[in-house]
Structure 1
Amino acid sequence: MPEPITLTVVGTAVVLEGVKFLYGQAAEAIKRWRESRNAAPTVKPAPAEAVPSKVFAGQLAPLEFHLEQVEVLEKHLLTLRAVLAEYVDGLAPLASDDHAAFEAIDALRQSMEAVYQQRLTFVGEQRAPSGPVVEGTIDAKTIAGNAVAVEARLVTSGRVVGRVVADRLEQGSSATAVKVDIVGGRP
């Protein structure tokens, strides 16, 4: 995880535009999650607002709210919105030496990454580019049977990372870090 201070090398105008977007999206995600509690259950993610241009580097897939993540992060998102309100509303300037503000911005960004299930990297930031990320890790003393860290049917963009670490593999067992059918093409 990069230090939140790395955001200070990014232009404050870019960061401020990004945090305004994420701030609003956090509110919208919470509203949608609260509404979904009274609706019929669904597993389909809710579509989110379009990303402002020239704020995030990389190739984002269409943003969708994964409401099960919003449920887990609701209180944290509300706290971060309260901390960042004066910057978003223009009541306080965002100074590059305001470490507390940048820590809150990074925390909001990481929370929204969980909600979107995509990495969000600001333009000019020294970090892996924005986009979907699929990661799976198996860390076991012994694997008895078949173990797969990541198995996916279709990944049309983004990054896939699988790791398997085991001290022992039982006879007849198998361990696979990544098993993917169709990574960047059409089905």
Structure 2
Amino acid sequence: MSDGLGFPMLATSALTQAIGFLYRRAEVVLDHRAARRTSAAPLPAEQLPDVVVGDPGDALGFDLTGVTDDLAERLESMVDVLGMYAENERLVDSQDERLRRVLGRTRALLEVVYGRRITFVGEDRPASGMRIVNKAGDVHGISRALKARRVSSQASVDVEHTAQVVHRGAEMTSVEIDDLL
């Protein structure tokens, strides 16, 4: 979802918001994994910073079973570095390449965890939103990547739907929406 290293050049105030957002999201993932909870108590309402473009989803909107030991370990190392910046805003410098690499890697890990893009102001990429990947070998019946009854016109969904072979009489539909709001 991200190259893991790329992160946009942002003004210091926007960069501080991005750090806080990614840091908090990473902490939520790690906290819930450490507690080994499959259903979590609701978090206080999250105020999305202005620097986030689109809908990055709910902070608890991830599958805990997908947070492997390796992913958690990598995320913990990113949180250790980001914590220093989150707690000492005067250290934030938009020219800091190390910080931008850590932010890019943290975002890439969180995009895997949440299955969603996380996009910030000024980036040349689709807005934050859901990402669906459906790869099939042989399709004999019906293969759909996304079927929805009602979807907001503001929704951002990236669908990758591929098959090696779609057999005669089979159907492959990437997106089927009944009502666009």
TM-score bracket, shorter-length normalisation: 0.7 to 0.9
TM-score by length of 1: 0.71
Alignment partner, residue 75 of structure 1: 73
User: How many percent of aligned residue pairs carry the same amino acid?
Assistant: 22
- TM-score for both structures, normalised by structure 2: 0.73
Q: Give the conservation status (yes or no) of the 8 Å contact 2:25–2:59.
A: no
Matching residue's letter, 1:107: R
Aligned twin of 2:121: 123
Q: Is the 8 A contact 2:2 2:108 kept in 1?
A: no
Q: Which moved more, 1:111-120 or 1:169-178?
A: 111-120
Name the counterpart of 2:8.
Answer: 7
* 1:147 counterpart residue number: 143
1:50 and 2:46 are equivalent in the alignment: yes
Give the AA of the match of 2:60: E
After TM superposition, list the pairs within 5 Å mapping 1:151-170 onto structure 2: 151-156=147-152, 157-166=154-163, 168-170=165-167
| Conserved 8 A contact 2:139-2:167 | yes
Name the SS for the 2:91 alignment partner: coil
1:22 aligns with 2:22: yes
Per-residue CA deviation, residues 130-181 of structure 1 (Å, 9 max, x unaligned), is: 3x324233354x4333222223444445223434444543222222222234
Q: What are structure 2's unaligned runs of at least 5 residues?
A: none
1:136 corresponds to which residue? 133
Instruction: Tell me the amino acid that sits aligned with residue 104 of structure 1.
Output: V
User: In structure 2, the residue corresponding to 1:7 is in which secondary structure?
Assistant: coil
Q: Which of 153, 170, 173 matches 1:173? A: 170
Q: 1:64 aligns with which of 48, 60, 63?
A: 60
Residue pair 1:14, 1:122 contacting (<8 A) in 2 also:
no
CA gap 1:69/1:12 in 2 versus in 1, 3 angstroms: farther
- The amino acid that maps onto 1:66 is F
Q: How much has 1:77 moved relative to structure 2?
A: 1.6
Secondary structure in structure 1 of the residue aligned to 2:172: strand
AA aligned to 2:53 is A
In structure 2, the CA distance between the partners of 1:106 and 1:49, relative to structure 1 (3 Å rule), is farther
Alignment partners' CA distance in 1, 2:65 and 2:150:
22
* Aligned twin of 1:89: 87
Query: RMSD of the TM alignment (CA)?
Result: 3.3
2:34 maps to a residue whose letter is: R
